Copies of this chain bind each other. A is one copy, B any other.
Amino acid sequence: MFHLLGGTARFNEIRRRVPDVTQRMLTNQLRELEADGLIIRKVYPQVPPKVEYSLSPLGRSLEPVLLALKTWGDANIDLFAQPSDEALA
């Protein structure tokens, strides 16, 4: 959902921004969010297919939560970072 805060995004666009997510799982998650009414899935009937995802009003109502979470994550990113070669050098 973070990636939809800025507006709409296409499937592979989201996928590129979330490395290590399989296509299957991303599809599942997006469908679940849609079923929960948090995001909107808009299909453009054209070839090649184009599908745009965006936050629904309910999804946007979560913005404060998402931002609070992002703030925390940014402040504590070192907790998740693996010690890199460079950091050790």
Using a CB–CB cutoff of 8 Å, the interface residues on chain A facing chain B are 58, 61-62, 64-65, 67-69, 71-72, 75-76, 79
From A64, which residue of chain B is reached at the shortest CB distance? B68
Q: A65 to B66: give the CA distance in the assembly, Å.
A: 8
State the oligomeric state as a number of copies. 2
Q: A56 to B64: give the CA distance in the assembly, Å.
A: 24
- Asked if A69 and B65 sit within 8 Å, CB to CB, the answer is yes
- Asked if A65 and B61 sit within 8 Å, CB to CB, the answer is no
In angstroms, how far is the closest chain B Cβ from the Cβ of A19? 22
Residue in B58, B61, B67, B72 whose CB lies within 8 Å of A61: B72
- Asked if A72 and B65 sit within 8 Å, CB to CB, the answer is yes
Residue in B61, B64, B67, B75 whose CB lies within 8 Å of A76: B61
